[in-house]
Amino acid sequence: MGTEQDHRVLIFAPIGRDGPASAELLCAAKLETIICSDITELVREMSVGVGAVFLAEEGLFAKHTTPLTDWVERQPAWSDLPFIVLTSHQAQRAVVAWRRNLVSALRNVSLLERPIQPITLTSAVQSAIRARRRQYEIRSLIEAREQAAQQLESLVVERTRALAEANEHLRREMAERARVEETLRHAQKMEAIGRLTGGIAHDFNNLLMVISGGLDMLDRQTDPARRRRLMDGMMQAAQRGASLTRQLLAFSRRQALRPEPVDIAGQIGGMRELLDRSLGGDVKVKFDFPNTLWPVEVDPGELELVVLNLAVNARDAMPGGGTIVVRGENLPNLRDAELAGEYVRLSVIDTGSGMTDEVRARVFEPFFTTKEVGKGSGLGLAQVYGFATQSRGTVRIDSVVGKGTTIALYLPRSDAVPSNDQRHLIELYGARARPHDEGRILLVEDDDEVAKLVSEMLDELGYEVTRASSAAAALGALADGRAIDIVFSDVMMAGGMNGVELAREIQRRRSDIPILLTSGYSGAAVHAAKETGVRILSKPYRIDELAVALDAARSENLRTRAHVS
């Protein structure tokens, strides 16, 4: 573990009042701070012990920073000291290049741009201190492992002294190894929680978008039907907040299911429209159910959630698009090490990237995900596993890298007759007339509920909306000659290409189409969008803010085209 010096915050802001003001603010948050007057003093204090370093970038302009960067390079393997750099609005090429080199040299950098709220600075420093504390925990683990290795070596030496002591020494060795492995497993759990935090933060921001935007839209609606739809959308957003708990309970097999006889072909067949909307136009779904398929006894709503979950995973594995096959098969007299009897096999098959053996061995672990931060909590397949086992069945995976994946649910046959009254998760809404015609807009959004709300906003503003669930689907829509007047895209999306990369590709192919981006994140996304010359709208936003941003994006595009011509 770290010492008291290892939790200190070093401040280097020699110009103006940034140094004393920051120290006073952090001291009020009960953080120990030291103001350094020059780089030499800063490096000396870093060598004594440090939890985080707060720098004002202007204090480093035209300064000899080699001692600082050399210290960073000499850090041991377990160390990655966090730096928090206060930046200015300077956007000249020389300043941007210098800042980029500084970030590369310091490695673990968080940029905060003036003006900055006190709570933002305090939160960033506290987060850096926590991350640094975990580094010291890793150092302790490494030292413990080295100590354990030394102890094991001494045990080997002792075993040569007397054969009678050999068994006792072996037991000590096994106990020590188990202790080290348990410590390492704890570190892996901490890493998994970090991945989960990113997914939850992204989902929570989308929930705020649906609820705040929906409330804004309510005051603008006089049509009871549209108000009802908005209220339904906000209710669905609130219910999504409980879905994480449902997934955890499903994995732990403690979720209260309501099983009943279910006709799989009819139940899953009724999801056609929901799947088409959820997966986007670049992915097609094909059903393969024989007329003689047996009924099973499961919770019909949870069954649909599982199939939707597997279909979305299959879509993410096929960024270039493709076909997903949902197949049902009767398995009479099944006998193997795990199952015995009559079962129905429900498979979701894709031709995507496939899984390695290492990934396949861990996919049912809670919090494990191969998706980037903010794109998944790592609980989807854990929920599938929990549902299958709680339904007295199991789930199996067959996957080949580069060829695709088949995930199969094995569910026991039911002798009861399914009810003719089928219930489905979501009722879809039909088309509505627009109040006026502002043009055709391509909405690129991978979150279904956010897409539904934003479509309502755009419809209210008079746009004809075409939705794509990924950057690849958006490029496909533009490539097939579809008439589009403006593209409105989220920055963070699954499928390989983000919104900024999509904007660059559209600018290369169709410079006549204006582009507006939106994001719930800040920092890198904003800077990348500005470098691309694309306006970005921060989430959550109101309908009037959306209208202004769309008008501005179209106007800027017209001015740019006029200037070029």
pLDDT digits (tens, 9 = 90+) for 313-331: 888 888 888 889 999 999 9
Kindly report the average pLDDT of the chain as a whole number: 81
Q: List the 404-412 sheet strands across, edge first.
A: 283-288, 322-335, 340-350, 404-412, 394-400
Q: What is the mean pLDDT of residues 344-365?
A: 86
Q: How confident is the model at residue 1 (pLDDT cuts 50, 70, 90)?
A: low
Give ∠ CA 535-537-541 in degrees, rounded to 5: 160
Statement: residue 517 has pLDDT above 50: yes
Q: Which amino acid is at 455?
A: S
The owner of tokens 């975990």 is: 134
Q: How far apart are CA 488 and CA 438, in angstroms?
A: 14
Ordered structural domains, the chain, with CATH: 5-135 (3.40.50.2300), 260-412 (3.30.565.10), 439-564 (3.40.50.2300)
What is the predicted pLDDT for the residue at 495? 65
| Residue 302 pLDDT greater than 60, yes or no | yes
Paired tokens of 397: 């995976």
Token pair recorded at residue 21 = 């003001």
104-160 residue pLDDT tens: 999 999 999 888 899 999 999 999 999 999 988 898 899 889 888 888 888 888 887
The beta strand positions in 376-500, using DSSP E, are 394-400, 404-412, 439-444, 463-468, 486-490
d(CA 131, CA 421): 53
The predicted-structure confidence for 424-442, as pLDDT tens digits, reads as follows: 654 433 333 344 577 899 9
Higher pLDDT, 223 or 354: 354
3-state secondary structure of 395: strand
pLDDT above 90: residue 198? no
According to DSSP, the residues that pair with 515 across neighbouring strands are: 487
Q: Which uninterrupted H or E stretch holds 166?
A: helix 166-218
Distance CA 415, CA 93 (A): 73
